[in-house]
Amino acid sequence: MNAQFFEALLDPGLLPPAGLTTWNSSDPAARFAVYRNNVIVSLIDALADTYPVTQALVGEEFFRAMARLFVRQEPPRSRVLAFYGESFPAFIETFPPAASVPYLADIARLEMLRVQAYHAADAIELPADVIAQSIARIDELPELRIKFQPSVGILCSPYAVVSLWAAHQGITDISTVDPDVPENALILRPQLDIEVIRLTNGASSFIALLLQGKSLGAAHEAASLAADFDLTDILGLLIQTQAISSMKIH
Amino acid sequence: MNKKITAAALAMALGAAFATVSTTAAAAEMGGKEKCYGVALKGKNDCKAGAGTTCAGTSKVDYQGNAWSMVPAGTCEKTESKTSATGYGQLKAFKEKQA
Amino acid sequence: MPTPLPLVPQLRGASAPTLKIQLPSRAGLGLKPEHFQEILSTLPDLGFFEIHAENYMVDGGPFHYYLTRIREHYPLSIHGVGLSIGGEAPLDLAHINRLDKLLDRYAPASFSEHLAWSSHGHVFANDLLPISYDQPTLQRVCEHIDQVQTHLKRQMLLENPATYVEFATSTMAETDFISEVIRRTGCGLLLDVNNIYVSCINHHRDPYAYLRALPHAAVGEIHLAGFAEDIDAAGDPLLIDSHGSPVAQAVWQLYQYALDCVGSVATLIERDNNIPPFDVLLAEIQQAEHLLRTSDSAVPIAQETAA
């Protein structure tokens, strides 16, 4: 029973399941449609809540039509819907009608990183003396492994993802943004508010290497290849945003 | 890179970064990196039913290439075309607005 | 006609030492993130807040921050929307464990779930789907509720559903099915008055008779909400449990009758769609509180005990 009912919910090409009855002998399809609508609409709404800028960029009508295809193709696998649609950016990337907005998938990636940062485990405060002690043990500094707060995420894009996103927060006028300028984003949540910060190429590769578990010395050496890398600048940002949760040798 | 030099460079940078952050209370602008906040999220699990007036659940429209007629029609229409210059000017303008 | 119920031994849950429902007999409100800050800054005078469990099954962030603070000031009801108690598949143990963790963390006065199913295979439909009222389903639902109550070491409330279709395979009335589940498992009843009204209109039944047929002593909480109106293929009214409008007059009247039957019981105003300013919801809270106070002194209508 469940299987037939369920398949017909998600596939409008199928007839409603057999064995449905109505008191007035009216066609049960009209009533079954209430369930079909609720499943599809509630999941599209969940995507719209996660991807508001993606929706604004293409318009509500286009977004909801695209989201409907995605919902049918990839319905939730989890009973917890907080992160539903993690694969929506990949879907957008291969969805031909969205190809005229090449940066759309990366904007969606940034929005999913925001949702993940929003619900991530709370930051563990780095004790104030850890940095001072690290500086004191100068020989060990290159071997230091930096761990980040659970909310920290990085996005490197060939498009102006941060500027495009910021233009939808009332910060700037979208007509002044050139979407084809590569930008990198650092996403994190120091306390309750999520921050989206634009990073230089050097800074983002530095953080990406540290996230991969590379030592401070190795990350510094590799990131220094980027002309725009400024070690003091990025360390200052990481300290200021309380992005670091631990600094240890192992 | 020499290991000793690396260690010294790291110590200097870390010290300078630490000092800068400790002394500037509102160092919101580090190297032109804008800080932006967004709107809060809703809870997505619910026990309500959608009103039955839409046909989202029964629509059979699918993407079949030529069967799809919709085009993106949102704020993307206001962005610069791909054929524009590098855009460095626009980006700089954005930074200045933030400062 | 419903077939007579066979005698079935009670499951463990009926006698298990479970934590009973302790919500105050006052009006409460569904907690929405839109209202977090206003609630903490004004501390409105209401009986309790209710959350949807699954929304708080995340590691950290603002949801837990605000709920922790709101919990310091109000009793809490945790209402699950994704356990799929009516499903054919075994219950999701990982999900029961998530519930256990959440209940431990927030020590709610009540935990409730739905008489419905919502998942199949690995897919979750995010909807409360209807079940057939027959013996195999009854057996399964009782086993699932027993498992939940045993695992969580507490009594749960089961909510009567809002439905839009019925099944040819059903052999008993919804009220008989629910009464039997309560009798066998010892779970309580979350009496959703709006669902009663919606389902009874949709299936052409008398909502007052439906209410009379349920075990009143088992009611641990009442839900009130608004519905949307549609029509079916024959042009007859089809009501949708949309939670998107104020409680309808007909539902207020049925609520008054429910209070006459059941006595004064914790009552939730549910609003999950078209969420209005907080003041608008507070006005509905006050209306419910007024009816609760006037029913407080009244003697509940005596109910014949089921055979």
B20, B37, B46 ranked by CB distance to A236: nearest: B20
Q: pLDDT value at position A48?
A: 96
- The answer on pLDDT for A26 being more than 90 is yes
Contact B53 C243 (CB under 8 A): no
Q: Which residues of chain C does B42 touch, with a Cβ-Cβ cutoff of 8 Å?
A: 32-34
Q: How close, in Å, is residue C286 to chain A by CA atoms?
A: 30
What are the pLDDT digits (tens) for C139-178? 999 999 999 999 999 999 999 999 999 999 999 999 999 9
Whole domain around residue A130: which residue ranges? 121-250
Q: Is residue A106 part of a domain?
A: no
Question: In whole angstroms, what is the distance from residue A9 CA to residue C16 CA?
Answer: 38
Q: Is residue A154 part of a domain?
A: yes
Q: Which long-range contacts does C299-302 make (Cβ < 8 Å, 24+ apart)? A: C300/C216, C300/C260, C300/C261, C300/C262, C300/C263, C301/C260, C301/C261
B36, B49, B74 ranked by CB distance to A38: nearest: B49
B12, B76, B86 ranked by CB distance to A181: nearest: B86
Burial of A69 (0-12, 13-18, 19+ CB in 10 A): middle
Q: Is residue B7 part of a domain?
A: yes
Q: Which of C61, B70, B79, B40 lies closest to A161, judged by CA?
A: B79
Q: Calculate Rg over the CA atoms of chain A.
A: 23
Residues of chain C with pLDDT under 70: 1-19, 21, 297-302, 304-307
**Residue of C69, C126, C171, C241 for testing the chain A interface, max A β-carbons within 10 Å:** C126
Residues within 8 A of A (CB atoms), C 196-215 only: 202-204
- The answer on pLDDT for B65 being more than 70 is no
- The answer on pLDDT for B36 being more than 80 is no
Q: Describe the crossing of helices C278-296 and C249-262 by its angle, rounded to 10 degrees.
A: 40
* Band of residue B48 on the pLDDT scale cut at 50, 70, 90: confident
Q: How close, in Å, is residue C224 to chain B by CA atoms?
A: 12
Q: Which of C59, C203, C67 lies closest to C130, judged by CA?
A: C203
Q: pLDDT value at position C296?
A: 72
- Chain B with chain C: Cβ pairs closer than 8 A: 62
What percentage of chain A reaches a pLDDT higher than 90?
Answer: 90
Q: Which of A81, A237, A206 lies closest to B43, judged by CA?
A: A81
Question: In whole angstroms, what is the distance from residue A202 CA to residue C175 CA?
Answer: 67
C59, C83, C126 ranked by CB distance to A39: nearest: C126
Q: Classify the phi-psi angles of B7: left when phi > 0, otherwise alpha if psi is within -120 to 50, otherwise beta.
A: alpha
Structure ipTM: 0.95
Which CATH code for domain C12-292?
A: 3.20.20.150
Q: pLDDT value at position A160?
A: 96
B9, B13, B79 ranked by CB distance to A179: nearest: B79
**Residue of C126, C129, C269 for testing the chain B interface, max B β-carbons within 10 Å:** C126
Residue A170 carries which side chain, given as an amino acid letter?
Answer: G
- The answer on pLDDT for B66 being more than 70 is no
Arithmetic mean of pLDDT, A211-229: 95
- The answer on pLDDT for B35 being more than 80 is no
Question: In whole angstroms, what is the distance from residue C157 CA to residue B64 CA?
Answer: 47
**Residue of A22, A40, A41, A42 for testing the chain C interface, max C β-carbons within 10 Å:** A22
Do A139 and A236 belong to one domain? yes
Arithmetic mean of pLDDT, A194-221: 95
Q: Is residue A116 part of a domain?
A: no
Q: How close, in Å, is residue A106 to chain B by CA atoms?
A: 14
Residues ≥6 apart with Cβ < 8 Å to A47: A67, A70, A71, A84, A85, A88
Contact A55 B74 (CB under 8 A): yes
Whole domain around residue B4: which residue ranges? 1-26
Q: pLDDT value at position C153?
A: 96
Q: Which residue of B has its CA nearest to A101?
A: B76
Do A92 and A176 belong to one domain? no
Q: pLDDT value at position B99?
A: 27
Question: In whole angstroms, what is the distance from residue A246 CA to residue A244 CA?
Answer: 6
Q: pLDDT value at position C6?
A: 44
The count of domains in chain B is 1
Q: What is the edge-to-edge ordering of all strands in the sheet holding A195-199?
A: A153-157, A183-188, A195-199, B35-36
Q: Which residues of chain A does B16 touch, with a Cβ-Cβ cutoff of 8 Å?
A: 232, 236
What are the pLDDT digits (tens) for A177-188? 999 999 999 999
Residues C168-184: b if buried by 16+ CB within 10 A, e if exposed = eebbbebbbbbbbbbbb
User: Domain-by-domain residue ranges, chain C?
Assistant: 12-292
Q: Is residue A165 part of a domain?
A: yes
Residues within 8 A of A (CB atoms), B 22-51 only: 27, 30-39, 41-42, 44-46, 49-50
Q: Which long-range contacts does C293-298 make (Cβ < 8 Å, 24+ apart)? A: C293/C264, C295/C256, C295/C259, C295/C260, C295/C263, C295/C264, C296/C25, C296/C263, C296/C264, C298/C259, C298/C260, C298/C263
- The answer on pLDDT for B4 being more than 80 is no
Q: pLDDT value at position B3?
A: 72
| Residue C189, beta-bridge partner list | C158, C219
Q: pLDDT value at position A203?
A: 96
* Band of residue B58 on the pLDDT scale cut at 50, 70, 90: confident
Contact C238 B53 (CB under 8 A): no
Arithmetic mean of pLDDT, A23-43: 95
Do A53 and A146 belong to one domain? no
* Band of residue B91 on the pLDDT scale cut at 50, 70, 90: very low
Contact C98 A80 (CB under 8 A): yes
Do A223 and A131 belong to one domain? yes
Q: Is residue B15 part of a domain?
A: yes
| Residue C117, beta-bridge partner list | C129
Do A238 and A175 belong to one domain? yes
**What is the three-class DSSP state of C230?**
strand
Q: Is residue B81 part of a domain?
A: no
Taking a C-beta distance cutoff of 8 angstroms, is the pair B10, A142 a contact?
yes
Residue A61 carries which side chain, given as an amino acid letter?
Answer: E
Q: pLDDT value at position B50?
A: 76
**Residue of B41, B44, B47, B54 for testing the chain C interface, max C β-carbons within 10 Å:** B47
Q: Is residue A173 part of a domain?
A: yes
The count of domains in chain A is 2
Q: pLDDT value at position B38?
A: 53
Do A97 and A214 belong to one domain? no
Token code pair at residue A113: 């990183």
Last residue of a domain, one of A101, A136, A153: A101
